[in-house]
Homo-oligomer: A and B are copies of this chain.
């Protein structure tokens, strides 16, 4: 498993244990690789993920608001920019090709699982400091890369899922993960010191990472649930 050079992330992931496995090996993920995931589930996921990305961009903007120096601000600004001007556009493009107009993305009702995850992250930022926010953001950033790498040699994936896999298995995405990993290391050092796990905040940070991971599990399950009722 790749930790992108972040010991802090590696320790959070280890502490999340089964919950992490439940996320990166979720039935939805397995189905992406095997091609057994119903198309309706994937489409429902895409629609919700569009809404998710808007709030995820807001969360990275909040990271900028809470940054302590210009280096941190620069990384947060670059992340927001990539999300808003590239990742979301890519999303809109894929959806359009699959017959979902941007208007229907905008009109979609946000699922409760989506509300739970995105607003949890925002509130982690409002209630805590930059490190608390990063702990809640980390499962999404690194989990998608782990899933992308895991699925990369699934030759059974149909074209639509392949495209998604390629995005998160791409060198660009891996590079973005390395940058976030470096940010986390820098902030963990600045807030917790050289032995992060000895700091009294450590259990709460693990809990936050774990809760965000649980909410990722629910997000996959939401895709399947919505696909069934579509």
Residues on A lying within 8 angstroms of B by beta carbon are: 54, 57-58, 61-62, 64-70, 73-74, 76-78, 80-81, 84-85, 88, 106, 110, 112-113, 115-116, 118-120, 122-123, 126-129, 132, 189-193, 198-201, 204, 211, 214-215, 218
Contact = CB atoms under 8 A, between A and B. Distances in A.
A190 B192 CA distance: 11
A190 B64 CA distance: 25
Given A112-B116, A119-B116, A201-B191, A64 B73 contact: no
Given A69-B106, A112-B113, A190-B200, 7 more contacts: A58-B73, A61-B62, A77-B80, A112-B116, A112-B215, A115-B211, A193-B198
Copies of this chain, whole number: 4
Contact of A73 (B84, B113, B211, B215): B84
A67 B129 CA distance: 12
Contacts of A66: 126-128
A54 B74 CA distance: 10
A101 to B, nearest CB: 14
Contacts of A80: 61, 64, 77, 80-81
